[in-house]
A and B are shown apart, each in its own frame.
Chain A
Amino acid sequence: MSETRQRTGPDDAPGVRTMRGCPVSHTEYGEDSELYGHYALLDAEREAARFHFNDTRPRGFWMLQRYDDVLEGFQNHAVWTTRVRSALNPEPGIALLPQDLNGKEHAKLRRVLNPFFSPAAVRRMEPLAHSRCVELVEEVRPKGGCDFVAEFAIRYPTDLFLSLLGLPVADGEFFLPWSETLFAGFFGGDPKAAAEARRNILEYFDQAVNERRAAPRDPAEDMVTRLVQARIDGEPLSQEDILTICMTLMLAGLDTTRSALGFIFTHLARHEEDRRRIIAEPELAPAAVEEFLRMYPLVIQAGREVQEPQDFHGLPLEKGDVVWLGIASANRDPRKFPDPDRFVLGREGVNQNLAFGAGPHRCLGMHLARLELAVVLREWHARIPDYRIRPGVTLTERGGQLTMPTLPLEWEV
C-alpha cells in the first residue's frame, strides 16, 4: 500500500481503474431515477468490491458500503469529522448546528437539545401528532384519492415542526412553500427563489425567537425559551446560532419524514399482506417503522472528512480525503440483514439499522421521527385501510437524498 499511497491521481494506465489500489466507481448518485434505482446501484457496488473510490465529484470520495465498515466509520468520529457532511456535496453552502461542530463543542450543544428530543419528551407531542394526522387524513379521505406526498406527507411533519418550536400550526400554510422552495434549491431548483425563501424563513424564526426573549415560557417545555436561556461555558447562544439551529431542525425533519412516508405507503399499497397485518394489529406500528427505516433509508450516505492519515482495513486514507458512509448500503447489506429486500416484521437486529446514523452525530430527531411515522401507520389505516397506487403512474425518486416527488393514491369512498 505504501507505494500506491504516494499517488495523487487515479492509477489510470489504460484499462486499470483503480485509485490507490481501490476500484473506481463512476456511478452518479445525485440524479433522479426510477423508484428504487439508487438501491439497485448501491447493492451492486457493495457486492462488487468492499470499497470504491467514486470520481463523479471534483473531490472524489471513498465509499464504505458494508454494515460493519459504515458503523465503524460513524464511530471513528475523532478522526473523521463533519467538516464534510455529505460526500456528494462536500462544500456546504449553509451552516448547520449541531452538525458542524465536533468533539466537546458538539457534545455541549447536544446536551442543550437532547432533552427536547428524548423519547419521553417526544411523547408529549403524541396527542398533537394523532390529532393533526387525523385532521389531515379526514381532509383527503372524502376525495377518494390524493397526491399522498403533497397533500399529506409533507404537511404533517411541517405542522409538527412548527409546534415543536411553539409556533402556530396554522402558519404551515405560508411556511410550507418557503421550506419546499429552499429544499428544492439544494437539488437543482431555482437558486434565487431558494435564497429568498431562506431569508423569509430566517426572518420568521428571528421574530419567534425575539418574542420568546420578551415573553419566556417554561424552558423545560419550550425549546426556543430553552435555547434563549441556555448557557454553554457561561455564554449564551448567539441569535445567529439559535436561528441556525431552528433552520437545521427544519432541514433535517421535514423532507426526511415526507420521504419516509412516501416509501412506506408505496410498499404498503403494493404488499397487501403487510398492510393487512398493520390494519389488524396496529400495535405493531413501531416494529413496522423500524423495518421500514432499515429497508428504505432516504439519507443514503453521510460524508466525513479525514483529519489524519489512516489505513482503514487496507484502504489508505489521507488527510483531507472525503469518506462516504453508505447508510443505505449498510442497511441493505445481506451480511448483516439476510434477504434484505424482504420486509420482515420483528427482524433480528433490526434496531441496529443505521438509517439515523450512529456515533455522536446520530440523528437528534430519531425518536420524534419514529413517533410521527408510527402515528401515521395507525391513524391512516384506521380510516383508509385499503388504497392503491393510481394505475399507469410511473414512480420516480430524487437523487442525492431520496424522496418521491409524487405518489398518487386512490381508494373507495
Chain B
Amino acid sequence: MFLSIDADRCMGHGRCYSVAEGLLSDDDEGFVAQRGQTIEVPDGLLPDAREAASACPERAISLREASRPLGGAGADA
C-alpha cells in the first residue's frame, strides 16, 4: 500500500501524524513532514495509514495499492 500527501491540499491541521505517529511526523511549522511525498506503508501500519487518510479535513491523503509514476494519469488529486 502507498500513501500520498497532496502538498497543495495539506494545510497543516496535523490530524494525520497525531493519529499515525509511527508512520508520519511533523515539521517545524506543524505540517506533516511527508507532505508532497508518496511513501510505502509497512504492512503492520496499514490501520494507521487508513486512520491518517480519514482524519484529514482537507482530503489531502490518498491510499493506493500499487505505486504509479507520479504525475501520470493516475496520480491522485
Contact = CB atoms under 8 A, between A and B. Distances in A.
Contacts of A114: 12, 29-31
Interface stretch (A146-154, A188-196, A353-361, A377-385): A353-361
A348 B51 CA distance: 9
Contacts of A354: 57
B19 interface: yes
Contacts of B58: 71, 75, 358-359
Interface stretch (A117-125, A158-166, A172-180): A117-125
Interface in A84-133: 111, 114-115, 117-121
Interface centre among B29, B56, B58 (most CB of A within 10 A): B29
Interface in A329-381: 348-349, 351-354, 356, 358-360, 362, 366-367
A240 to B, nearest CB: 25
B5 to A, nearest CB: 15
Given A119-B18, A360-B11, A366-B13, A351 B57 contact: yes
Main secondary structure of the interface of B (DSSP, over half): loop
Contacts of B11: 358-360, 362
Given A111-B29, A118-B26, A118-B29, A352 B14 contact: no
A217 to B, nearest CB: 18
B55 interface: yes
B13 to A, nearest CB: 6
Contacts of A118: 12, 14, 26-30
B6 to A, nearest CB: 11
Interface of B: 9, 11-15, 18-19, 26-31, 54-59
26 contacts: A71-B57, A111-B29, A114-B12, A114-B31, A115-B30, A117-B30, A118-B29, A119-B26, A119-B30, A120-B26, A120-B30, A286-B18, A351-B19, A351-B56, A352-B54, A352-B55, A352-B57, A353-B57, A354-B57, A358-B11, A358-B58, A362-B11, A362-B12, A362-B57, A366-B14, A367-B14
